[in-house]
Amino acid sequence: MRPTALAWLVAGALSATAPAFATEPAAMNEDPYLWLEDVEGEKALDWVRARNAVSTEKLGGDPRFEQVRADLLEILDSNARIPYVGKMGGYYYNFWRDKLNPQGVWRRTTLEEYRKDEPKWEVLLDIDALGKAEGVNWVWAGADCLRPDYDRCLIDLSRGGADATVTREFDVSDKAFVEGGFSRPEAKGQVNWIDIDTVYVSTDFGDGSMTDSGYPRIAKEWKRGTPLSEARTIFEGQASDISVGAYRDDTPGWERDFVYRGLTFYTNELYLRGEGDKLTKLDLPDGAQKGVFREWLSVELRQPWAVGGKEHPAGSLLAIKLDAFMAGSRDFDVLFEPTDNTSLASAGATRDYYFINVLEDVKNRIYVLTPGEDGWKKEPLVGAPQFGTVGISAVDADESNAYFMTVADYLTPTSLLMGEIGKQPEVLKQLPAFFDASPYRIEQHFATSKDGTRVPYFMVSRKDLKLDGDNPTLLYGYGGFEVSMTPGYSAGVGKAWLADGGVYVVANIRGGGEYGPRWHQAALKANRNKAYEDFAAVAEDLIARKVTQPKRLGIQGGSNGGLLMGNMTVMYPQLFGAVVCQVPLLDMKRYHLLLAGASWMAEYGDPDKPEEWEFLRKYSPYQNVARDVDYPPVLFTTSTRDDRVHPGHARKMMALMEAQGHDVTYYENIEGGHGGAANNAQSATMGALAYTFLKQKLFEGK
């Protein structure tokens, strides 16, 4: 509950229920730091290098930095980590990075070998060796292999971790790229198999072929031995769309081809491709997620839908046989319907069953659904745990009822299990304990937001925690794009934060998906303030419960969570003692003009529309930072190679706050893409910078 009186409020701090807006905002029409948007401009990079040097000295020179960096790197490079696999044919494939292979190797093994503590792996592609031979810092971005032999694969590679990739055809037997094979130049896009001599391709075909969001607008069919310029167009979207693509459902006996058109981040159209390139649009809500498996069509609703004489609430999962649907039937079966405390986390299928992963107050429950003449039978998955974060996926959905299951929580090392539906699963792999978890406990609490909404949050702390208001506490949040923040084992948090006496908290604020579409949609566009009010309520609750106090309370978030950090800094500066703002959005006046920004207007709004800029400007940190407000110290981190969220956001915010005399620190990794790092060493360095900064600010005087 929110406190009615706190000593620190009486002492003169601003009310936590009333955001502190800027009294001297940055110029709305003139941006003196626009030049920092020149990503690889020499002037901008000189500015970056100068600030990197300062942060490296200030943070890297701290004796704690090297110890944290070494600890994190040891965890990231450990051969005791679980090598997660995907089955193709008779082999189990894995991509692996470690100390000897910082960029990684693509490899495979058999199930018999995989069950062993130290499996023998067959290395198919060494990314370190490839990068060295070609003089490019290649980062693995995935593989699409052609059934049934899985001997030819389309490999995606990224320079430095960017979203833009190249695609090359690879021969698994020869362990080499195919000379004269399919090859797509660097761009945001994809290539997908149709057959050995034909692929679908969506990419940058030249002027006008990309959307305003920077993704492909056109899908084509490309024949082997012909130049990309001669690929045949099968669908064109609009420049205002998010993206367009085509793919084949290659399930044996159920082969079908589809064209996907993303209208906005949350709306889409799906077309079934027939003979003569005829495209038939599936008559389904644009806001629904559509899927097919074998004979079934599934529809996950983001909005209420009246169909077949029934009203289905948002968050429902429906199913119908695809042939019946195409013939005009609308008699859907309900596979899941949300309640006040449940939402659908995910769904999938094995050969004979469907399974759903349900969140009940942010705790996973797995159910198996069996189709029959009298509808669908629902049962709990045999052997599924009742506590912790549980994930499930099919091993080989076309061939068996086997599944992989992962189980973890903040203190319990992740386990990987394998089972067959109806039988008890077996543990295949388990992560070792990278830190001693015995002194700690996990609790779930609920804060009350400004409008009365109960907001859950998880807290990890020592069992003997003293509620004296003096515990260094790190509060993490995201709150966007229907992403749920569920408990997971983090050896880095345990080793670098908990072990030093810190408290770790994760807030399940609105904008996320913890309670389905309604939780997400409650904080869209004009209602974005609900996410920030929720986060502030969690902070207030921690203070009211005497877990911590503002000078000991740090916050951290990245991407959309970076926007959250920016707004918490400028709106609620009195609540926090330190802020780590990673790969953030911060300039909401120009975000839609930078890289993939236009694709997020369904989440935030369109700043070019006066009525939408009216609410957007309230949640644009860059436009609201002021010289005469006492902000908590902030660490901004980003990546030059991030081609999703433009590094200009962090650069400009840093420059503005620095010029105003605020306590700000900046570090920009030259590589890394939106993840911020291109290999384990870079990840360890970025993590060590953040933890060292937090310890410098929050542990002072302890």
pLDDT digits (tens, 9 = 90+) for 146-155: 999 999 999 9
659 band by pLDDT with thresholds 50, 70 and 90: very high
Q: Which of 404, 433, 462 is the last residue of a domain?
A: 433
| Average pLDDT of span 62-89 | 94
pLDDT tens digits along 247-294 = 999 999 999 999 999 999 999 999 999 998 999 999 999 999 999 999
- Strand-pair partners of 206: none
Residues marked active site are found at: 559, 674
| Average pLDDT of span 189-195 | 97
Do both 403 and 466 map to the same domain?
no
Q: Is the pLDDT of residue 344 over 70?
A: yes
Backbone angles phi, psi at 114, to 5 degrees: -65, -30
Do both 403 and 463 map to the same domain?
no
In the prediction, which pLDDT does 82 show?
A: 95
User: How many independent structural domains does the chain possess?
Assistant: 2
Do both 466 and 382 map to the same domain?
no
Domain that holds residue 518: 30-73+434-584+625-698
678 band by pLDDT with thresholds 50, 70 and 90: low
Residues 6+ apart with CB under 8 A from 324: 331
- Distance from C-alpha of 520 to C-alpha of 514, rounded to nearest angstrom: 8
Please name which of 218, 97, 646, 119 lies closest in space to residue 429, comparing C-alpha atoms: 119
- For the chain, state the CA radius of gyration: 25
Residue 212: inside a domain: no
Please name which of 644, 663, 460 lies closest in space to residue 569, comparing C-alpha atoms: 663
Residue 693: inside a domain: yes
649 close to 584: Cβ distance less than 8 angstroms: yes
CB atoms within 10 A of CB 602: 17
> Which tokens hold the place of 257?
């081809």
Do both 355 and 439 map to the same domain?
no
Residue 394: inside a domain: yes
- Distance from C-alpha of 457 to C-alpha of 474, rounded to nearest angstrom: 13
Give the length of the chain: 702
In the prediction, which pLDDT does 671 show?
A: 58
Do both 630 and 502 map to the same domain?
yes
- Distance from C-alpha of 515 to C-alpha of 97, rounded to nearest angstrom: 35
Mean pLDDT of the chain: 93
Indicate the Cα dihedral angle 167, 173, 175, 177, nearest 10°.
-40
- Distance from C-alpha of 288 to C-alpha of 300, rounded to nearest angstrom: 5
Do both 548 and 685 map to the same domain?
yes
> Which tokens hold the place of 390?
């549980």
Q: Which of 433, 464, 485 is the last residue of a domain?
A: 433
368 close to 353: Cβ distance less than 8 angstroms: yes
Do both 388 and 409 map to the same domain?
yes
| Average pLDDT of span 549-559 | 97
Do both 565 and 631 map to the same domain?
yes
Q: Which of 415, 433, 451 is the last residue of a domain?
A: 433
In the prediction, which pLDDT does 18 show?
A: 32
Residue 493: inside a domain: yes
Q: Is the pLDDT of residue 581 over 90?
A: yes
pTM: 0.85
Can you give the CATH number for the domain in which 580 is found? 3.40.50.1820
Do both 348 and 413 map to the same domain?
yes
Among residues of the chain, what percentage have pLDDT more than 90?
89
28 band by pLDDT with thresholds 50, 70 and 90: very low
Residue 514: inside a domain: yes
Residue 175: inside a domain: no
Q: Is the pLDDT of residue 674 over 60?
A: no
Do both 459 and 572 map to the same domain?
yes
Q: Is the pLDDT of residue 17 over 60?
A: no
Do both 454 and 557 map to the same domain?
yes
Do both 418 and 438 map to the same domain?
no
Q: Is the pLDDT of residue 30 over 90?
A: no
Residue 331: inside a domain: no
Core vs surface per residue 62-96: b (16+ CB within 10 A) or e: bebbeebbebbbebbbeeebbbbbbbbbebbbbbb
Residue 272: inside a domain: no
